Amino acid sequence: MADRDLTTKGFSSPLHVGRPNIGNRERFMERINGMLERRWFTNDGPFVKEFEQAIASAVGTKHAVVMSNATVALEIAARALDLEGEVIVPSYTFVATAHALHWQGIKPVFADIDPKTHNISPSDIRRKITKRTTGIVGVHLWGRCCKTDEIASIAKEVGLRVMYDASHAFGCSAGERMIGGFGECEVFSFHATKFINSLEGGAVVTNSDDLAEKIRLMRNFGFKGYDNVIYSGINGKMNEASAAMGLTSLESMEEIISVNKSNYQIYREELAGVPGISLIEYDAMEKNNYQYVVMEVDAAECGASRDSIVEFLHSRNVFARKYFWPGCHRMEPYRSLQPGIGADLPETERIAEKVIVLPTGQEISMEDVSCICRMIIEVTGTK
């Protein structure tokens, strides 16, 4: 718990978005000691295999292939699907989604978002399809599922491959169906900032036997057997220490979600009457990890701008973040390669100027959340 002054003067130690959850420290150290005794640190060790089985079981897929990080997982998945030319992605996402394509000579074609869900707009996907389009990469932003049925219909009609960046969505569902089995494959992130972390890591999940085998070989330089290389691969393997942390983190999954949900509900209750302030909603009939507390600021109604709220919170050691500002299309190299594209992404530009993500997780207490809410009420001039 952070040291705090409940008069809203600020916290003596900083509160960050995405501060790591640790889980059971003793259990983690037991696993690390076992790894040291075995002297098996990488190359498909027992913790890696156990972590893969646990992930596949949690999301209901046949296969999970863990990686050193989610960006490498995105790159390998895109290559395994033989994506080339142009691939349609949202601009309103972490830049790694676009970089994973650009690094392989694939042009990310940015589609606009649905302002209600912040997810990629199927109607704009359709508008962005050209003769060079080979695939679609959807992003389940904030753990809320894309309109997968509509995307699948478009892809089938035109003959495109579909994968999803599910970095936010581990443990989340669309209705009763767990996210993980949509498209040809999905990619999870287990970076330290995610509610379930493996220190650094990611995974590709799929129900395709052939695709899983291809991805598994490509993460290990393309080796099939001891000295037989059949794909152009890279070193994308996860090490045993990361897998040990992932397993430990999974054991505390329900506890972490419970903390996140409680914090989210306090934010919603205490900010409910602030003009121009709204929190995105999660469907109570679906599973969500609640790892993101996403606040939109309507400057026309609020007593403060989004940026002034962020600045005020930072001055009091609350490091809220402007996600995903300003959008991939306004970052390099895309703003130079595709100048003026912002005019074609009106909802992306509008939402990027409104969003603040607030701190949550095991290190943020209910009292901390209440104090942050009072800071927001203070800076907006709400009585």
**pLDDT digit string, tens, across residues 291-320:** 999 999 999 999 899 999 999 999 999 999
* Pairing between β-strand 161-165 and β-strand 86-90 as defined by DSSP bridges: unpaired
Encode pLDDT of 59-97 as tens digits. Answer: 999 999 999 999 999 999 999 999 999 999 999 999 999
With cut-offs at 50, 70 and 90, classify the pLDDT of residue 1: very low
**Could you report the per-residue pLDDT of 26-58, keeping only the tens digit for each?**
999 999 999 999 999 999 999 999 999 999 999
DSSP line for 226-285: SS-B-S---B-PPPHHHHHHHHHHHHTHHHHHHHHHHHHHHHHHHHTTSTTEEE----TT
pLDDT at 323: 96
Mean pLDDT over residues 225-232, rounded?
A: 87
Contacts of 342 (CB under 8 A, 6+ apart): 327, 329, 330, 348, 349
Q: Which residue segments constitute the domains of the chain, with CATH numbers given? A: 25-251 (3.40.640.10), 253-320+359-380 (3.90.1150.10)
Query: What predicted TM-score, i.e. pTM, was given to this entire model?
Result: 0.95
Q: Using one digit for the tens of pLDDT, what is the confidence trace for 232-249?
A: 899 999 999 999 999 999
